[in-house]
């Protein structure tokens, strides 16, 4: 077995002086060839690196802090880290959290410390998918980020509030990268078609506006996916008599196959999308509610998770304005459990429409919250004696049940003077009826 030289990077690590472009490997994908090399070529993310934005100003002044780049796949996290290293003329070391461990981290920071001492060159340590590092691995980074041995740039698709330890977050700035718009993707695709060195320029590749629009839509905001689809579509296109490869909407659809919705059943998309669904139903927007329902189910969300939220919605947001909403929602949950997918989509769509169109009231939920406030203020108030059950003679001797007025013995089945709460909270109003649906017809 051949031993690794001391100068070789550990597994999962890539090294480069100022992130300088290396020789292109044979067969390198178009997405890799077309990576931007400077901020001026970086398309999208204007809120992060646009002219005058804080990160851009820090890069231009060579005052780059440690940071976490948070965003969906294909939004340019790795590319941006490489550009920052190049612009600030810092050594660029890249680790993959999937393939690296604490030993690799220590090797990287030891090399960075030596480089800073002997050569006066600072190091950017880029860790891709930093959320894959466990707590011990993230803890190992802290002293080196703290003393400036490395400037950390971590990339993650997951919410760093949950996936990056608090001490590391406190030492880093978080920048949120968003999915690219169709206009951004179209610009990237046109550049790839025209570029004679890294793209298809000079290879007689053409694509009209319609094809590029279909391609951008299929990529779903992911630049890497867009370029991969373009590369496949070009390969599928047969040259015509003039040698031109025409990328048509049909070729794009063939290359894209079944576009994958960006959705993670345990990540941000899971929580963000169900939140949008709930707020759409609450806001009585039927079409929006159906849209978000379809987004979840078509992406593979657990239908029982959605069904549970539907039951909660019925009680929390429709409530007593339509008392039938809750049993209908429970019936939907039972139908989903009984049917499974794909048929479960039908009862969920039906109940989504019903709940979105129903009158809304959160009076029961609000009433419960008010009751909880009194409970927290009067935790140890004893149950009044007349409300206690006198199950034994001893209990009766101590006054349990004494003076209790049985409701059915009185007109209207309401004892006129009996109290039902501790004296400290008697008279407090919790339930205030809503003004819509069945609740509006209830006696005040």
β partners of residue 164:
none
Please tell me the least confidently modeled range out of 102-111, 196-205, 409-418. Answer: 409-418
Which of 245-259, 318-332, 392-406 is modeled with the greatest confidence?
318-332
What local confidence, expressed as pLDDT, does residue 440 receive? 78
Angle at 142 between CA 137 and CA 145, to 5 degrees: 125
Please tell me the least confidently modeled range out of 25-29, 71-75, 285-289. Answer: 25-29
Identify the residue whose tokens are 């920071």. 109
Identify the residue whose tokens are 């501790």. 422
Cα within 13 Å of Cα(40), Cβ side: 2
> Which pair of tokens denotes residue 338?
């009984």
**What per-residue string of b and e applies to 381-408 under the rule 16 or more CB within 10 Å gives b?**
eeebebebebeeeeeeeeebeeebeeee
Residues of the chain with pLDDT > 70, as a percent, come to 91
**Measured distance CA(184)–CA(311) in Å, rounded:** 40
Query: Is 205 within 8 Å of 212 (Cβ atoms)?
Result: no
Domain 13-176 annotated CATH 3.40.980.10: no
Nearest residue to 264 (alpha-carbon basis) of 226, 229, 299, 311? 299
What local confidence, expressed as pLDDT, does residue 11 receive? 44
What local confidence, expressed as pLDDT, does residue 259 receive? 60
Q: Residue 169 pLDDT more than 60?
A: yes
- Work out the pLDDT band at 6, boundaries 50, 70, 90: very low
Question: Average pLDDT in the 273-300 region?
Answer: 92
Query: Across all residues in the chain, what is the average pLDDT?
Result: 87
What local confidence, expressed as pLDDT, does residue 431 receive? 87
pLDDT in tens, 138-153: 998 999 999 999 999 9
pLDDT in tens, 117-135: 999 899 999 999 999 999 9
Say if residue 249 is exposed, middle or buried (CB neighbours under 10 Å; 0-12, 13-18, 19+): middle
pTM of the model: 0.67
> Which pair of tokens denotes residue 397?
């001797």
- Looking at domain 268-357, its CATH architecture is Up-down Bundle (1.20)
Task: State the span(s) of the chain assigned CATH 3.40.50.300.
Answer: 13-176
pLDDT in tens, 70-114: 998 889 999 999 999 999 889 999 999 988 888 899 999 999 999
- Work out the pLDDT band at 262, boundaries 50, 70, 90: low
Please tell me the least confidently modeled range out of 7-16, 47-56, 160-169, 372-381. Answer: 7-16
Task: State the span(s) of the chain assigned CATH 1.10.8.60.
Answer: 182-256
What local confidence, expressed as pLDDT, does residue 92 receive? 93
What local confidence, expressed as pLDDT, does residue 437 receive? 83
Q: Classify domain 182-256 at the CATH topology level.
A: Helicase, Ruva Protein; domain 3 (1.10.8)
Task: State the span(s) of the chain assigned CATH 1.20.272.10.
Answer: 268-357
What local confidence, expressed as pLDDT, does residue 256 receive? 86
Q: Residue 210 pLDDT more than 60?
A: yes
What local confidence, expressed as pLDDT, does residue 184 receive? 94
Helices and strands (DSSP H and E) totals, the chain:
20, 8
């Amino acid at each position: 077995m051949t031993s690794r030289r001391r100068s070789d990077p550990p597994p999962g690590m890539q090294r480069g002086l100022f992130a300088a472009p290396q020789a292109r490997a044979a067969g390198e994908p178009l997405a890799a060839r077309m990576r931007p090399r400077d901020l001026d070529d970086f398309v999208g993310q204007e809120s992060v690196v646009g002219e005058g934005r804080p990160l851009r100003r820090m890069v231009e002044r060579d005052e780059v802090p440690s940071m976490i780049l948070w965003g969906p796949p294909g939004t340019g996290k790795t590319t941006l880290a490489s550009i920052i290293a190049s612009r600030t003329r810092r050594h660029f070391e890249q680790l993959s959290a999937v393939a690296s461990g604490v030993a690799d981290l220590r090797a990287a920071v030891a090399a960075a410390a030596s480089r800073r001492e002997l050569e006066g060159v600072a190091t950017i340590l880029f860790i891709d998918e930093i959320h894959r590092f466990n707590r011990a691995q993230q803890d190992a980074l802290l002293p080196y980020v703290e003393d400036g041995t490395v400037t950390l740039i971590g990339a993650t698709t997951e919410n760093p509030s949950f996936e990056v330890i608090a001490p590391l977050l406190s030492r880093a700035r978080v920048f949120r990268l968003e999915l690219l718009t169709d206009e951004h993707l179209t610009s990237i695709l046109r550049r790839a078609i025209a570029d004679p060195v890294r793209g298809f320029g000079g290879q007689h590749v053409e694509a009209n506006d319609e094809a590029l629009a279909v391609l951008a839509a299929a990529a779903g905001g992911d630049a890497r996916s867009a370029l991969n689809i373009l590369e496949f579509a070009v390969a599928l296109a047969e040259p015509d008599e003039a040698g031109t490869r025409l990328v048509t909407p049909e070729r794009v659809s063939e290359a894209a196959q079944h576009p994958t919705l960006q959705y993670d059943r345990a990540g941000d998309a899971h929580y963000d999308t169900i939140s949008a669904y709930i707020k759409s139903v609450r806001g009585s927007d039927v079409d929006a509610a159906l849209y978000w329902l379809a987004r979840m189910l078509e992406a593979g969300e657990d239908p029982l998770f959605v069904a549970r939220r539907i039951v909660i919605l019925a009680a929390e947001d429709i409530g007593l304005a339509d008392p039938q909403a809750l049993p209908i929602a429970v019936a939907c949950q039972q139908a989903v459990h009984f049917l499974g997918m794909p048929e479960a989509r039908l009862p969920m769509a039906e109940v989504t429409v019903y709940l979105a169109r129903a009158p809304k009231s959160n009076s029961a939920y609000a009433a419960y919250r008010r009751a909880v406030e009194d409970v927290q203020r009067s935790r140890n108030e004893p149950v009044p004696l007349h409300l206690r059950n006198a199950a034994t003679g001893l209990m009766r001797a101590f006054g349990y049940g004494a003076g209790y007025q049985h409701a059915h013995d009185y007109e209207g089945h309401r004892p006129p003077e009996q109290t039902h709460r501790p004296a400290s909270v008697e008279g407090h109003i919790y339930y205030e009826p809503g003004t819509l649906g069945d609740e509006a017809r209830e006696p005040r």
